[in-house]
Amino acid sequence: MKSRIMLLSLLMLIGWIIPAGAQEPQVDPLKGEAVYKANCVRCHGIQGRGDGPDAAKLIVPPANFQRQESRAKSEMDLRSAIIWGLAFSPMHGWWDQLSVEDIRAVTAYIRRLAPYAPSSP
């Protein structure tokens, strides 16, 4: 009996220490769209196809979010590219210009334009 109480106490303690399914805060899709239109559309285009008005001037073409290669990227990959930029490309980092909330919102908006679709083996 005493061992059952100890086990139950231990399980309860573990339940309090380890959060149950921590989730990221919800993002506002309208905010993501606004951030995208203000900062991304000139290179990536309205639909995220890499065909914005400035794209033709760039030596390295902007990412086409509609391509399978882009759709297979994780949320972390997208956020890293937005935060730090991409080496040897015109995609600069936005860490000093966008808030964490803005980065989450624009990532969510990009996923609306081109939903996550992991590549199959």
Q: Considering only CA atoms, which of 47, 73, 71, 48 is closest in space to residue 61?
A: 48
Task: Report the pLDDT value the prediction gives residue 117, as an integer from 0 to 100.
Answer: 93
Q: Could you tell me the two tokens for 41?
A: 């559309």
Among 5-9, 82-86, 89-93, the range scoring the smallest mean pLDDT is 5-9
pLDDT at 105: 97
Helix axes 100-113, 29-39, angle to 10 degrees: 90
Give the HSE-up count for residue 61: Cα atoms under 13 Å, Cβ half-sphere.
10
Q: Is the pLDDT of residue 13 over 90?
A: no
Share of the chain above pLDDT 90, in %: 73
End-to-end Cα spacing for the chain: 51
Residue corresponding to tokens 């930029």: 85
What are the tens digits of pLDDT across the range 42-84? 999 999 999 999 999 999 999 999 999 999 999 999 999 999 9
Residues β-bridged to residue 92: 85
CA–CA separation, 51 vs 42, rounded Å? 8
Is the pLDDT at 18 greater than 60? The verdict is no
Answer yes or no: pTM beyond 0.85: no
Domains of the chain from N-terminus onward: 26-113 (1.10.760.10)
Q: What is the pLDDT of residue 21?
A: 56
Would you state the pLDDT for residue 8? 58
Rounded CA-CA distance 63/50 in Å is 5
Predicted confidence at residue 25, as pLDDT, reads 78
